[in-house]
Amino acid sequence: MSHEPPNDCPPARGDSTRAVHGAGAAQNPYGSVTTPIIQSATFTFASTADLIAYLKRKAAGGAVDYEEYARFGSPTVDAVEKKLAALEGGDDALLYPSGMAALTSVLLTILRPETHVIITDDCYRHTLEFCLNFLRKYQIETTVVPFNDMAALEAAVIPKKTRLVISESPTNPYLRVADLDALVRTAKKHRLLTLIDSTFATPINQRPLAFGIDFVVHSATKYLAGHNDLLAGVVIGRKDRIAALRDSRLLLGGIVDPQPAYLLERGMKTVALRVAQHNASAQRIAEHLEGHPAVERVWYPGLPSHPDHAIAEAQMRGFGGVVTFELRGSLDATAGFIDRLTIPHLAASLGGVESLIQQPAIMSHFDKSPEERAALGIKDNLVRFSVGIEDADDLIADLDAALEPLRAARSIPS
């Protein structure tokens, strides 16, 4: 199967070129190198005739320089959406105030009462919660199937009801990598739409649209923005599908303000450089931790020990900046390790220039009992490390110092 971008996408250019310029140089009346922040809720017209001409162009599907009201869109947001589409290799993109807003807007737009969704079991906790609990109120059923199990996916299809398959690649926190070729083949066999949350991969490491995926969602808060300073989400796909979402965004009101849109574009200009550093450092750290006596297991797609290493090698250009690992210790011992670290911040989220670390049993699943956490695969000794762009040698030295008491407590030779 060819995994090239669609024929009507911009000419093939390098990742950094597209991250900086998108489909071409941005045009604005000020001649500024950066996209202007057009901080306006409404936009004026020179005359009634000018307004009527604009409305006629818009009704005919023609291009317009700007909308009449910022809930319909703004020049700043527009410019960022075009750049995101070019970077992912899609026809069009739509920005939202968060990754969850992007994902839920797709579902609320394309699903109807009495339809059915299939979702893989290693998806983000709140994505699963939305599908299993929120959508149920609208008579939309959800079936959870094992990750990368195409037989289970086919068995879950309900003829004339199943509409969509949702997965992530890589997943959180175990970094499972979806077999996109197999997923698309199976979905197309049953005429199902497909959605991939590709936040952990970024368009630099993986482009699901080139495999035939219908919708790609990113929490742009993470790697695309890259500086832990804004919330945003994006959906990228075929022009007609994004047009339907644009109509629903007008009604649902999930519009992004120009200021975070500007910050997102500024962050995107260095995304290829940052992701290269994330990839290289995370690979080194994963290999180092896998050989450490105080570490029980490392989950990283770049390691041959990862269950989806072969898939990742075949369809990814890099393995990402998150390393998940299990320590040889208890809940408290794992918390002590995190507290001894001096470089990573103890914080939620990922994908920024600063390294962030967390213990999912506490950070994201504190409300669950040990039994409930175990059923979800969240172990007490599990650590998720979002590797920043600091020097890898410094991060490894910091990890070793924090792991030393665990090694010594078990009388393991260094």
What are the catalytic residues?
Answer: 71, 124, 197, 222
Which residue matches tokens 């979905």? 187
Which pairs count as long-range contacts for 306-310, CB under 8 Å and 24+ apart, including other chains?
A: 306/175, 307/176, 308/148, 308/175, 308/176, 308/177, 308/179
Closest by CA to 9, choosing from 90, 72, 118, 97, is: 90
Asked whether the beta carbons of 176 and 124 are under 8 A apart, the reply is: no
